[in-house]
Homo-oligomer: A and B are copies of this chain.
């Protein structure tokens, strides 16, 4: 009986350690800014737009097609998209 016990215990331990049950690596948010001339600026694939900045002190913007900042003020020289994702 005791040999059975230790055999089974040993096998189970081997099987479980082989599984490398370490928890998934903790994720965090990482962001970057994408500056473009003109009134449009887009985030790279895989990143989302969390906010936009515009030239000429303009705070009126909208997002086009999920990843592009569009600055609305009549005269516009630059647009920056703030882009984030999980790493």
Residues on A facing B (Cβ under 8 Å): 4-5, 7-9, 11-13, 15-16, 19, 21, 23-24, 27-31, 33, 35, 48-63, 72-73, 80, 82, 84-86
Contacts and interface: CB of A to CB of B under 8 A. Distances in A.
11 contacts: A27-B27, A28-B85, A28-B86, A35-B62, A49-B82, A51-B51, A56-B60, A57-B58, A59-B61, A63-B82, A84-B84
Task: State the majority secondary structure of interface residues on A.
Answer: mixed
A13 to B, nearest CB: 8
A33 B59 contact: no
B50 A50 contact: yes
A15 B62 CA distance: 52
